Structure 1
Amino acid sequence: MTLGLAVPFVDPAALVAWARRADAGPYVRIGVPDRIVYDNPETVVMLAAMAAVTERIRVQSEVVLAPLRDPVLLAKQSATLDRLSGGRFTLGLAVGAREDDFQAVGADYAGRGRRMDEQLATMRHIWAGEPVVDGVGPVGPAPISTGGPELLFGGFAPPALARVARWGAGYVCPAPPGYAGMLFDLVRRQWKDAGRSAEPLLVGQVNVALGPEPTVAQARASLLRYYAFAPELAAQSVNAMATTATEIRETVAAYRALGAHEVMLSCWSDDIGQVDRLADLLA
């Protein structure tokens, strides 16, 4: 089982340093979260900077909220990132769950799932070099990766999970191991029912903070601020955060027992020393 690292909401210039350090190993990918109404760097721009300063690690949106974006532009950005990174770009996607993001860009919140399915079809056409509109196109550049960048999907609802088998290469599970097993099993069944070969990439995700007490305190405060719109969820997220070596090892082992191929370690403190601490702990 491999490890990934999801970066915290900090200054973009600082995240370039996170990418350089993660590229030294043992991580196989580095993820950047996506929000609109929040103090975070724009995901695609940040990933381009990370791809430019790394050589080995995959760069991944963790995850892009597709219904907030124009699909033609997103497809072009993704193909550009795929080429810039030498095929190291993974497009992680989800529909989003915060209405303020949709209000900010004038997007329809209620119809976001339907819009995402339409977007995926459009992006596939673009990556295949087909016209988007009769007499218009194609839209370049062509991606290096056959069929377009690697696609992973996040979410909980059955329609969200069904997109893994229909469109994607795998699933990013934002649920703790006690709940993740059921979601992994559903993804596997849908994958088999769709006639897909091999198996989907299954990625567990855990919020972590490893370091001195100020690091842990900052991570908890960041989580509470991020989920301020849902106090109960905020409290649950803080309680579930793995903050000791034992908790982190046990959570990773639990995902491994469920058949996860990878675990994303989501950091919420700007303490960059966590990159090396987590690597030393789990490598």
Structure 2
Amino acid sequence: MKLGLRLPQRLGVDLQRDVVEAARTAEAAGYASLWVYERLLFPETPVEPYAPPNVPWPESSRQAADPLAVLTAAAVATEKVRLGTSVLVAPLHTPVQLAKALATIDQISGGRVVAGMSTGWSSDEFRAAGTSRADRGRFLDETLDVFAAVWGADPVSFRSARVVIDKASVLPKPVSKIPVMLGGGGANLGRSTSSRAVRRIAQRADGWLPLLSTPGPAGAAELRASWDRIRDMAAGYGRDTSGMEMVVVGNVTFTDRPAGADRSAFVGTLDQVMDDIHTAADAGADELIVDLNLQDWFTSTRQMLETAVEIRERAAAS
């Protein structure tokens, strides 16, 4: 299983220096990919909590630097690593502009972009972008349709409720096909073969970006079973599943003492986090994204990178 690293976008990051330093350090350390996330704003009194039952938005989300700008900086600073979004919230973007931006970064990087997409969940962000929570699934489907159209041959013609393109060149094109992965939920999502989100992954995605929530063998078995269901559904739609990837997201929160038996995955000491990395591998993950952006006790990006390098070294040695 390969490891990827989420780039620093959080509050306190020196964007002029830290993004490039993190990208170069991660590539030199042997990380296979670099990833960005999207948070549009930080509501003081949010409509929805950050997580159920009533978890407040983390202070580190007060600044979440623009993901495409950060990914562009990483593209210029690196040579080999894949460059992914985990995830972009489709309803916050105009589809044609987003397709063009991703294709441009793909050209700058020499063909290393992975487009991770989702519907999103924050009503505060939807309202700021002039859209609505009720339309989020439809807007994601439309965005995927636009990607397929404008990344294809010119002239492009496309028509939907919001987007009309009539025999136009839309350039630049990606270097090659940009993999489109879909995020959302963890193993629970994959249990429901009737949900629209699961069908969308099986029908349209090149991979899945789930969260690992349960540590240990139970978590590995749960996630593996969900991934098997998704691929079985994809095969039922006549798709070749051999190239589909499961890239697990690990949102790390370190504790001073070992977390108890009821802990969530990637919450605990470094040893416990390493155990969770092995759990993701046991679940059949092709790659794991190590996300240290929510770790409040890091006083600097350099400190974060020292931990990221240690994680990579320990994973390589195990």
Aligned to 2:231: 188
Which runs of 5 or more residues in structure 2 are unaligned? 43-62, 159-163, 190-194, 296-300
Q: Distance in 1 between matches of 2:263 and 2:76?
A: 34
Deviation at 1:189, TM superposition (A): 1.9
Cross-structure match for 1:174: 211
1:209-224 matches, cutoff 5 A: 209=253
Q: Note the alpha carbon deviations across 1:62-119, whole angstroms, 9 max, x for none.
A: 1000111000000100110111110111111011011111111111211100111012
For 1:241, which of 255, 259, 266 is the aligned residue? 266
- 1:101-140 correspondence runs (5 A): 101-129=125-153, 130-132=156-158, 133=164, 135-140=166-171
Equivalence for 2:172: 141
1:22 alignment partner in structure 2: 26
Structure 2 match to 1:221: none
Q: Is the 8 A contact 1:2 1:27 kept in 2?
A: yes
Q: Secondary structure at the match of 2:157?
A: coil
For 1:6, the equivalent position in structure 2 comes to 6
Matched, 1:51 2:80: no
CA distance, structure 2, for counterparts of residue 182 and residue 60 of structure 1: 25
Contact 1:188 1:199 in 2 (8 A): no
CA deviation after TM superposition for structure 1 residue 175, in Å: 3.1
- Counterpart check, 1:204 vs 2:248: yes
In terms of mean alpha carbon deviation, does 25-34 or 11-20 score higher? 11-20
**Is this contact kept in 2: 1:21–1:275, CA < 8 A?**
no
Output the CA distance in 1 between the equivalents of 2:77 and 2:165: 39
* Secondary structure in 2 matching 1:4: strand
Give me the whole-angstrom Cα distance separating, in 1, the residues matched to 2:205 and 2:29. 26
Question: What amino acid is aligned across from residue 175 of structure 1 in structure 2?
Answer: L
Tell me the equivalent position of 1:222: none
Q: Quote how far apart the aligned CAs of 1:33 are.
A: 0.8
| SS of structure 2 residue aligned to 1:111 | helix
Rounded Cα–Cα distance in structure 1 between residues aligned with 2:197 and 2:107: 28
The whole-number CA distance in structure 2 between the counterparts of 1:4 and 1:66 is 22
Q: Does 1:250 align with 2:275?
A: yes
- Three-state SS of the structure 2 residue aligned to 1:24 is helix
What's the CA shift string for 1:171-202, capped at 9, x where partnerless?
11123252533432332222211222215201
Q: Residues of 2 paired with 1:69 and 1:92: CA distance?
A: 14
Would the alpha carbon gap of residues 280 and 272 (structure 1) be closer, same or farther in structure 2, given more than 3 Å must change? same
Q: Distance in 2 between matches of 1:276 and 1:153?
A: 27
Letter in 2 for 1:153: L
Deviations 1:177-236 (A, max 9, x none): 5253343233222221122221520112212256x96xx9xxxxxxxxxxxxxxxxxxxx
Spell out the pairing of 1:69-88 with structure 2 (5 A cutoff): 69-88=93-112
Measured after TM superposition, the shift of residue 40 of structure 1 is 0.9
Answer 1 or 2: which has greater helix percent: 1
More off after superposition, 80-89 vs 156-165: 156-165
Residue type of the partner of 2:171? G
Once residues 283 and 246 of structure 2 are traced to their aligned partners in structure 1, the CA distance between those partners, rounded to angstroms, is: 10
Measured after TM superposition, the shift of residue 2 of structure 1 is: 0.8
Which consecutive unaligned segments of at least 5 residues does structure 1 have?
A: 217-236
Match of residue 155, structure 1, among 177, 184, 187:
184
8 Å CA contact 2:212–2:280 kept in 1: the answer is: no
Q: What SS does structure 1 have at the residue aligned with 2:169?
A: coil
The Cα shift of 1:138 comes to 1.9
Count residues in correspondence. 258
Distance 1:34 1:282 in 2: 27
CA–CA distance in 2 between the matches of 1:134 and 1:261?
Answer: 37
Q: Does the 8 Å contact 1:245/1:281 carry over to 2?
A: no
Q: State the distance in 1 between where 2:315 and 2:288 align.
A: 11
